[in-house]
Amino acid sequence: MTFLGSRPPGAVREPGPTLIGVPYDATSSFRRGSRWGPAAIRMASESIETYNPVIDRDLAQVPFVDGGDLQVEGLDPEHMVRAVRRHLGPGIPILLGGEHTITLGAVQALVARHHDLVVIQWDAHTDLRSEYQGNPVCHATVMRRLLDGGCPLVQLGIACCSRAASGFRTGCSTPSGPGPSISASTSMCSIPQSRRGRATRSRTGRRTRTCSPRSNACGATGSSAWTSSRRRRPGTPED
């Protein structure tokens, strides 16, 4: 099965967008299962209309290919990163994951071609730990490893992180010389206690909290609700 019935490798002469599945979640610490992402995305694509009337374009006319999945099952994180880095050829790679760690190999390959590359990360966590549970290469450290390689980073939507990661992040936002750089325009997102609304119980017995429809700390307006059916497992990284 391919994404939107895209062309197989070799069917397009000029290098263009290439989808690559990386079914890997070996370092996930909360709930594994993202390794099934590439297959699920391809299956769901069969129900997507390819034509967009707003821009009057049809994906069926775009020469992109589906390169299938990388065989990364059973690899440790370092070898998985190398496999991704070596596999990326010319053109525009589009990775289907998979956990955050797959990003490291892709960026390492692209930086070698585009020396002015900047990574934009849209995430709730910073992923800036130096190591997590003794592992320097994992989902909680991937952005730290990118910065170690000298790649500038812009972070959006960050909601929480450890004290150590926050200090490192602040230092990178105001660099005094050569070194890692994180965009200073990012901000931590939180909802003040006075605006968190009240908790109620749904018919299923699960706790539901509805936020008051006022501006939160991020400047957004409107109301939101969340339902939690389980507690966060101890040891889950917040960054």
Task: Report the chain's C-alpha Rg in angstroms.
Answer: 20
Residue of 183, 105, 85, 103 lying closest to 140 (CA atoms): 103
Over 50: is that where the pLDDT of 188 sits?
no
**Helix, strand or coil for residue 45?**
helix
Over 50: is that where the pLDDT of 227 sits?
no
Contacts 24+ apart (CB under 8 A), 178-185: 180/147, 180/148, 180/150, 180/153, 181/147, 181/152, 181/153, 182/147, 182/152, 182/153, 182/154, 182/155, 183/152, 183/153, 183/154, 183/155, 185/154
Looking at residue 12, what is its pLDDT? 65
Instruction: State the Cα–Cα distance between residues 23 and 69, nearest whole angstrom.
Output: 7
Looking at residue 78, what is its pLDDT? 95
Looking at residue 237, what is its pLDDT? 55
**Taking all residues of the chain, what is their mean pLDDT, rounded to a whole number?**
76
Q: How confident is the model at residue 239 (pLDDT cuts 50, 70, 90)?
A: low
Domain ranges of the chain: 1-115
Q: Do 38 and 98 contact (CB within 8 A), yes or no?
A: yes
Instruction: State the Cα–Cα distance between residues 109 and 62, nearest whole angstrom.
Output: 24
Q: How confident is the model at residue 177 (pLDDT cuts 50, 70, 90)?
A: low
Q: Do 105 and 80 contact (CB within 8 A), yes or no?
A: yes
Looking at residue 223, what is its pLDDT? 31
> How many angstroms separate the most distant Cα atoms in the chain?
59
Cα 101 to the center of its chain, rounded Å: 9
Residue at 232: amino acid letter: R
Instruction: Kindly report, residue by residue over 78-114, the tens digit of the pLDDT.
Output: 999 999 999 998 888 999 999 999 999 999 999 999 9
Instruction: Kindly report, residue by residue over 29-76, the tens digit of the pLDDT.
Output: 888 888 998 999 999 998 889 899 999 999 888 888 888 999 999 999
Looking at residue 89, what is its pLDDT? 82
Q: How confident is the model at residue 160 (pLDDT cuts 50, 70, 90)?
A: confident
Superfamily (CATH) of domain 1-115: Ureohydrolase domain (3.40.800.10)
Q: How confident is the model at residue 230 (pLDDT cuts 50, 70, 90)?
A: very low
197 or 213: which leads in pLDDT: 197
Looking at residue 1, what is its pLDDT? 77
Highest mean pLDDT among 45-54, 168-177, 211-220: 45-54
Instruction: Give the residue-averaged pLDDT of 186-195.
Output: 40
Instruction: Give the residue-averaged pLDDT of 131-158.
Output: 92
Token pair for residue 112? 């070698």
pTM higher than 0.75 for the full model? Answer: no
Looking at residue 178, what is its pLDDT? 59
Instruction: Give the residue-averaged pLDDT of 2-23.
Output: 78
Instruction: State the Cα–Cα distance between residues 146 and 187, nearest whole angstrom.
Output: 20
